[in-house]
A and B are shown apart, each in its own frame.
Chain A
Amino acid sequence: MSSEQELEAVIGLEIHVQLSTRTKMFCGCELSFGDRANVHTCPICLAHPGVLPVPNRTAIEYALLIAAALECEVAPRSIFHRKNYFYPDSPKAYQISQYDVPIAGAGRLGDVRIHRAHLEEDAAKMVHVGHHRGRIQGSDDSLVDFNRGGTPLVEIVTEPDLRSGAQVREWGQLLRATIRQLGVSDVNMEEGSLRCDANVSVRPVGSDEFGTKTEMKNMNSFRFIERGIEAEVARQKELIASGGQVVQETLHFDPATGELHSLRSKEEAHDYRYMPEPDLVPVVPTRQMLDAAAAALPELPAERSQRYREELGVSEGAALKLSFDLEWAEFFEGVIAHHPEIEPRAAANWVTGEFAAELRKQGDQALGETVVTPDSLGALVRLVGSKRISHSSAKAVLAEMVADGADPLEVVEERGLEQISDSGELEKIVAQAIDENPAPAEQVRSGNEKAIGALVGAVMKATQGRADGGEVTRLLRRDLGL
Chain B
Amino acid sequence: MIEREQVLHVARLSRLKLSEEEVAALEHELSSILDHVDRLTEIDVEGVEPTSHVVPLENVLRDDLPRPSLDRDRALEGAPDPHDGAFRVPSPQAEA
A contact residues vs B (CB 8 Å cutoff)? 21-23, 27-30, 36-43, 46, 54-60, 77, 79, 84-88, 127-128, 138-146, 264, 268, 271, 273, 276, 278, 280-284, 286
B36 within 8 Å of A (CB atoms): no
A38 touches B86 (CB 8 A): yes
B85 touches A38 (CB 8 A): yes
B49: shortest Cβ distance to chain A, in Å?
11
A30 touches B66 (CB 8 A): yes
A450: shortest Cβ distance to chain B, in Å?
62
Asked, given contacts A37-B86, A57-B61, A139-B94, whether A282 binds B53 with beta carbons under 8 Å apart, the answer is: yes
Other than the given A86-B14, A268-B13, 12 more pairs (CB < 8 A) read A29-B66, A38-B87, A40-B69, A46-B75, A57-B61, A141-B89, A141-B90, A143-B83, A143-B86, A143-B87, A268-B12, A283-B58
A278: shortest Cβ distance to chain B, in Å?
7
A28 touches B14 (CB 8 A): no
Asked, given contacts A37-B85, A88-B87, A140-B93, whether A23 binds B66 with beta carbons under 8 Å apart, the answer is: yes
Closest to A81 in B: B52
Q: 11 pairs across A/B with beta carbons < 8 Å?
A: A23-B65, A28-B67, A37-B85, A38-B76, A55-B62, A77-B58, A79-B52, A141-B83, A142-B90, A144-B87, A282-B53
* Inter-chain contacts of A138 with B (CB < 8 A): 94
Closest to B52 in A: A276
Closest to A144 in B: B87
* Inter-chain contacts of A79 with B (CB < 8 A): 52-53
A61: shortest Cβ distance to chain B, in Å?
9
* Inter-chain contacts of B17 with A (CB < 8 A): none
* Inter-chain contacts of B75 with A (CB < 8 A): 38, 41, 46, 146
Count residues on chain B whose CB falls below 8 Å from chain A CBs: 36
B61 touches A54 (CB 8 A): yes
B55 within 8 Å of A (CB atoms): yes
* Inter-chain contacts of B4 with A (CB < 8 A): none
Closest to A289 in B: B59
B39 within 8 Å of A (CB atoms): no
A146 partner, pick from B57, B87, B90, beta carbons under 8 A: B87
Asked, given contacts A140-B91, A140-B94, whether A38 binds B66 with beta carbons under 8 Å apart, the answer is: no
A191: shortest Cβ distance to chain B, in Å?
19
A233: shortest Cβ distance to chain B, in Å?
28
* Inter-chain contacts of A86 with B (CB < 8 A): 13-15
Q: How far is the CA of A87 from the CA of B89 in the complex (A)?
A: 10
Q: How far is the CA of A46 from the CA of B76 in the complex (A)?
A: 10
A242: shortest Cβ distance to chain B, in Å?
33
Q: How far is the CA of A108 from the CA of B59 in the complex (A)?
A: 27
Closest to B76 in A: A38
B60 touches A54 (CB 8 A): yes
A37 touches B84 (CB 8 A): yes
